[in-house]
Amino acid sequence: MLKAGIAAIGLATLLTGAPAQAITGTITVAKSAEIALLDAREPPFDGWERSGYSFNAYAPGTFAGNPAMAVCRFYNDTFAPKSSHFYAAHGLGCETTLAKFPDWKLETEDAFDIASPVCYGAQTVARYYNNGQGGAPNHRFVTSAAQARDMMQRGWVAEGIAPEQPGVAFCAPLP
């Protein structure tokens, strides 16, 4: 399901934009300009609202652990008037997306850093795909079992890259 992306609504509603304080070098994954458009209900975010959920990552180039992986951020506007964003780690989907899906435009190769997708002592971030509902691909990244159940009840499909932990997209610093 690499072609499917995290829609602007999925990205913006999931993330709060508040700065992370838990671990030195961590950030909350959000773009303040997108959060401002969302809160103002400006296009392309008109009619959408934030969920209040968020997760942390390591600021680009700050994770000292092994393995550290930079995460690519892609954008796709071929579903106008809807648009979509997608995150994929280097070695775990970034290169495949670049090679196989030319309609996904690379915004940055280093949006943030993550740890190994096997989450021992870290927060699990699971990825759910809307399975094409709503006319544009959309992903949600969730960090709790309650959020995961809610996504599945809405007909979303669990995705992920870690065979040891189905649905896991990556590991984030603990809040």
One pLDDT digit (tens) per residue for the chain, 175 residues: 222 222 222 332 233 233 333 345 788 887 788 788 888 887 777 767 777 778 888 888 877 666 678 899 998 888 877 778 888 888 888 898 899 999 999 999 999 988 766 677 778 888 888 888 888 888 888 888 888 889 889 999 888 765 556 677 777 888 7
Domain count across the chain:
1
CA 147 and chain centroid, separation: 14
Q: What is the H or E stretch that residue 13 is in?
A: helix 8-14
Show the domain range for 58: 6-172
Q: Which two tokens stand for residue 18?
A: 């508040």
User: Mapping DSSP to helix (H, G, I), strand (E, B) and coil, where does residue 114 land?
Assistant: strand
Chain center to CA of 79: 19
Q: Quick check: helix, strand or coil at residue 14? A: helix
Structure tokens at 4: 């499917």
In a domain, 22, yes or no: yes
**Is the residue at 64 inside a domain?**
yes
Predicted model pTM: 0.66
Helix, strand or coil, per DSSP, at residue 169: strand
- Angstrom distance (rounded) from CA 34 to CA 82: 14
pLDDT tens digit string along 95-124? 988 999 999 999 999 999 887 666 777 788
**Does residue 1 form part of some domain?**
no
